[in-house]
Amino acid sequence: MDTLLPIHVKKDIPENYRDTAIEKLFCYHNMNHPFGSYSKAEMLILMCMDHRKMMQLPDNFAYIIRNSGAKIDGVTFAISFAVAVAKINTIAVIGHSNCRMIDIGRYGVDFVQGLIEQGWKRQKAEMLFLKKHKVFEIKDVIASVINETKKLRSQYSKVQIVPMYYQVEDKNLYLVSEDKL
């Protein structure tokens, strides 16, 4: 995928991210740099809740919000808090390979049945799936990450918001290059 920019060494990081929290994120996660010490968070990470990914970061470095498919739906209060109160001015939106939100429609039956087993009424379970699955459904991970990035940029105009991709297979973070689309 040529929309993904691999970052293996520091010089792979584009100029505009030099000496920013984005550079540090790549240094820590992709290059195993020794952890710095932080007394306040440098950035916010919005990523999928998926259990196969875990960021390699020092304590205090980042706020992390995890939501199905790295979507902003349902977490705008948390994002706004990080930006407005914690004065976060950098956000990474991180999609990933093999996200289970891809074609989520295939889980409809299990979703409803599983909630019924938890004591839900069928109608309520079906309504939740019906109402929300389109919001969280992903057809193309890169397109989805860019879409969420654009939504965030329209809400928080002074924050630097960067789309990224986590490859579960190699546990590496990639930059999503927007101009190649």
Q: Please report whether residue 65 would count as binding Zn ion according to CB under 5 A.
A: no
CB of 151 to Zn ion, least distance (A): 18
CB of 101 to Zn ion, least distance (A): 5
Number of residues that bind Zn ion (CB under 5 A): 3
Task: Give whichever of 48 and 72 is closer to Zn ion, judged by the CB atom.
Answer: 48
Task: Give whichever of 25 and 48 is closer to Zn ion, judged by the CB atom.
Answer: 48
How many C-beta atoms lie closer than 10 Å to residue 58's C-beta? 15
Given 26, 27, 30, 50, the residue binding Zn ion (CB under 5 A): 50
The answer to whether the CB of 104 falls within 8 A of the CB of 174 is no
Distance of CA 157 to the CA centre of its chain: 18
The answer to whether the CB of 67 falls within 8 A of the CB of 74 is yes
CB of 81 to Zn ion, least distance (A): 23
Residue 16 makes CB contacts below 8 A (sequence gap 6+) with none
Task: Give whichever of 23 and 137 is closer to Zn ion, judged by the CB atom.
Answer: 137
CB of 8 to Zn ion, least distance (A): 24
How far is Cα 26 from Cα 172, in angstroms, rounded to an integer?
9
Q: Collapsing DSSP states into helix, strand and coil, what is residue 56?
A: coil
Residues 111-150 that bind Zn ion (CB under 5 A): none
CB of 24 to Zn ion, least distance (A): 24
Cα 167-164-130 angle, rounded to 5 deg? 85
Given 13, 43, 48, 145, the residue binding Zn ion (CB under 5 A): 48
Given 99, 104, 125, 176, the residue binding Zn ion (CB under 5 A): 99
Task: Give whichever of 99 and 145 is closer to Zn ion, judged by the CB atom.
Answer: 99
The owner of tokens 């040529």 is 2
Task: Give whichever of 42 and 50 is closer to Zn ion, judged by the CB atom.
Answer: 50
Residue 70 makes CB contacts below 8 A (sequence gap 6+) with 46, 47, 48, 93, 94, 95, 96, 144, 145, 148
The owner of tokens 């790295």 is 70
Q: Which residues bind Zn ion (CB under 5 A)?
A: 48, 50, 99
